Amino acid sequence: MKFAYADPPYLGCCRLYQHHHPDGLCWDNLDTHQLLIERLADEYPDGWALSCHTPSLRHLLPLCPDDVRVGAWVKPFHAYKKGVRPAYAWEPVIYRGGRNANPPVPEKGGKAITPKDFLIADLGDIDPPVVACNITLKKGLTGAKPELVCDWILNLLGFTPEDEIDDLYPGTGVMGRVVMQRQEPDLFGGVA
């Protein structure tokens, strides 16, 4: 299967990324996001994921196909914005498709095998465990995703080592590194 992941500049945040996008697209313009969503729907019928922020969710969802879902990356440690209360402490990921039709059913009384549509702080003995995932700092690009978030997004899509994924806005390259860890675990100390 072939998937796509898009982590473009968020609606209203163009000023932070203009120097990274010499194509002249303005990410403060909703039409730019609509073109991206149309591209994802047209070019990636197997599945895709789109990171965004909570203020843009109400604008982006009406542009999406009806069968999208929204996952939540909850950030125990996050940036605080002056004058914003409550804090923006979670980030939506809009996703569609993936290897999610007819999922396998766990054995009765067995361990859950379905990924959750959220990622939050460690809650102890929950099965499967849920892992803490704070924002990244000093990665050279505002909004760079942690490896754990990329891994969770791949799980939402049902990504396997035989699949392909186009990272449309690679930024720091973290998604590519996480994909390589899945495709070539021996190079990364057996991590799969």
Q: What is the CATH number of the domain that holds 167?
A: 3.40.50.150
Q: How many domains does the chain have?
A: 1
131 pLDDT more than 50: no
Between 140 and 153, where is the model more confident?
153
pLDDT value, residue 126: 44
Contacts of 17 (CB under 8 A, 6+ apart): 9, 27, 142
pLDDT at 191 over 60: no
User: Which 3 state secondary structure label does DSSP give 91?
Assistant: strand
Q: Across-strand partners of 119?
A: 73
The boundaries of the domain holding residue 15 are: 2-188
Cα 140 to chain center, whole Å? 19
Identify which has the larger pLDDT, 165 or 87. 165
Helix (H) or strand (E) holding 40: helix 30-43
Lookup: tokens for 93: 């990921």
Task: Categorize the per-residue pLDDT at 44 as very low, low, confident or very high, splitting at 50, 70 and 90.
Answer: very high
Residue 93 · residue 50 · CB < 8 Å: yes
User: What is the reported pLDDT for 79?
Assistant: 64
Q: Summarize pLDDT for 86-130 with one digit per residue, the tens.
A: 777 788 999 999 887 666 677 787 776 677 666 664 544 444 334
pLDDT number for residue 80: 61
| Least confidently predicted of 96-100, 118-122, 170-174, 180-184 | 118-122
